[in-house]
Amino acid sequence: MADTLLETDAAALGDLLRDHRGADVLVMDLRRMGAWTDFFVIATASSAAHMDGLDRHVKGFCREKGLEILRRSGRPKGGAAADEWRIIDLGATVIHLMSARARAFYDLERLYSSGFGGAPRETGAA
């Protein structure tokens, strides 16, 4: 049951980012890989202001659902790096808000498919 709730929350976060015009939103199920987290939710933001907005929507979602944000990096007003990549760590789910440039450079989808010997499963795609 807990796994179903985790998957539902990760998929809902993906939907939330899509609803607010996050580009190329991907929810990656990493559970079968034995990774340090169960899900990645990755979205591309079109600008620093857009990333700020997506960040606020994720924070509101977490507050509404009673999900604790364990760590955040690249917060607003965090310098140039904050405009490229923000990480919001919920423990079982990690949200990556990235610029197109950072997403292409770090290519988390490829890293997590080749690094663990198989492609992670996408879940909750609209």
pLDDT at 38 over 70: yes
More confident: 120 or 21: 21
Residue 105: C-alpha distances to residues 68, 108, 109 (Å):
29, 9, 11
pTM value is 0.84
Percent of the chain whose pLDDT exceeds 90: 60
Work out the burial of residue 22: count CB atoms within 10 Å of its CB; fewer than 13 is exposed, 13-18 middle, 19 or more buried: buried
pLDDT at 82: 60
Nearest one of 118, 124, 123, 116 to 34, comparing CA atoms? 116
pLDDT at 66: 94
Residue numbers of the domain that contains 83: 2-122
Work out the burial of residue 42: count CB atoms within 10 Å of its CB; fewer than 13 is exposed, 13-18 middle, 19 or more buried: buried
- Residues in contact with 28: Cβ distance below 8 Å, sequence separation at least 6, in sequence order: 39, 40, 41, 42, 108, 109, 112, 120, 121, 122, 123
Nearest one of 98, 74, 90 to 26, comparing CA atoms? 98
Residue 21 CA to residue 13 CA, distance in Å, equals 13
How many domains is the chain built from?
Answer: 1
Three-state SS for 44?
Answer: strand
Domain with 93 in it: what CATH number? 3.30.460.10
Tokens representing 25? 């939103």
pLDDT at 30: 87
